[in-house]
Amino acid sequence: MQGAAGAAQPKQPPQPAPQSGGTPRPNLTVPQLLAFGAFLLFALLALLASDSATVTSAELEQMGTLTMFLIGALLPSDALIRFGRNLLFQTVDDPDKAAKYAPATTLAQMLGFATYLVVIVLTLFSQVSIDEFTQINEVARVLIIALLPSDAGIRFGRALYYRAGSTPQPGIAQLKKV
Does residue 115 surpass a pLDDT of 90?
Answer: yes
Q: Is the pTM here over 0.75, yes or no?
A: yes
pLDDT of amino acid 78: 95
The residue among 59, 52, 67 whose CA lies nearest residue 129 is: 59
DSSP state of 10: P
Which amino acid is located at 146 in the chain? A
Max CA pair span of the chain? 78
Does residue 125 surpass a pLDDT of 90?
Answer: no
User: What's CA 31's distance to the chain center, in Å?
Assistant: 3
User: What's CA 27's distance to the chain center, in Å?
Assistant: 12
Task: For residue range 58-83, list pLDDT tens digits in order.
Answer: 999 999 999 999 999 999 999 999 99
Q: Dump the DSSP string for 47-86.
A: HHHHHSSSS-HHHHHHHHHHHHHHHHHHHHHHHHHHHHHH
- 3-state class (DSSP) for residue 19: coil
Does residue 1 surpass a pLDDT of 70?
Answer: no
Handedness of CA 169, 174, 175, 178 (dihedral sign): negative
